[in-house]
A and B are shown apart, each in its own frame.
Chain A
């Protein structure tokens, strides 16, 4: 069955380190998204991509970057981890043919920056 996976599921890192969170989907979806979820803020969009070589900034993109070299993967990189980036990160994907379309979420990565 098609799915969307994230790795690692849990990560503890130190302030200042570079961290990459992986997201892989097997639906062949064009659209992929990264969100962070913090108590009281719901889900906030970090970056998104509408296809290979396409990346766009979301509402909370500072300190994060993504790259899209193939359809299946959209890794999220924290350039220099900060304690404010402690959060739960969700990757999602969706088809891109015509609105409206639902998003499928991965299981999430819980990141702690110490």
Chain B
């Protein structure tokens, strides 16, 4: 099945610094989703990217889908303590036995020091 590598595994930043997490796949993706999980909480959907080269923004968060649809990134500008949590990318199967299923990256755990 499809696999995705997400890096880094951990990121510690000072409040106000920027943060980026990356997801890479060896195969072309139909779409990619991003989720955030607060400590002790459950994953919550942030966004989905479908088109090659797509860029979407949510306030301080910028999501990109690579031109070849094999990689994606999430960038947070000027982190705040509310950004703490684990960020996951997830690949969604587009056909055959993988249709509709999500394959999650390992996640990046973000800690923000005030």
Contact = CB atoms under 8 A, between A and B. Distances in A.
A and B physically associate: yes
Interface of A: 31, 33, 35, 40-45, 48, 50, 58-59, 90, 92, 94, 96, 99-108
B30 interface: yes
Nearest to A91: B42
Main DSSP-derived SS at the B contact region: loop
Given A43-B43, A43-B88, A90-B43, A103 B106 contact: no
B31 A42 contact: no
Kindly name the residue among B30, B100, B101, B104 whose own CB sees the greatest number of chain A CB atoms within 10 A: B100
29 contacts: A33-B101, A35-B104, A42-B104, A42-B105, A42-B106, A42-B107, A43-B43, A43-B102, A48-B101, A50-B100, A58-B101, A90-B42, A90-B43, A94-B100, A99-B30, A99-B31, A99-B92, A99-B99, A99-B100, A100-B31, A100-B33, A100-B92, A102-B45, A102-B48, A103-B43, A104-B45, A105-B42, A107-B41, A108-B42
B68 interface: no
A105 B100 contact: no
Kindly name the residue among B1, B41, B88, B102 whose own CB sees the greatest number of chain A CB atoms within 10 A: B102
Given A42-B88, A42-B105, A45-B101, A103 B45 contact: yes
A103 B42 contact: no
Nearest to A110: B40
B78 interface: no
The 8 closest A-B pairs by CB, nearest first: A102-B45, A105-B42, A100-B31, A43-B104, A42-B106, A42-B104, A105-B43, A100-B48
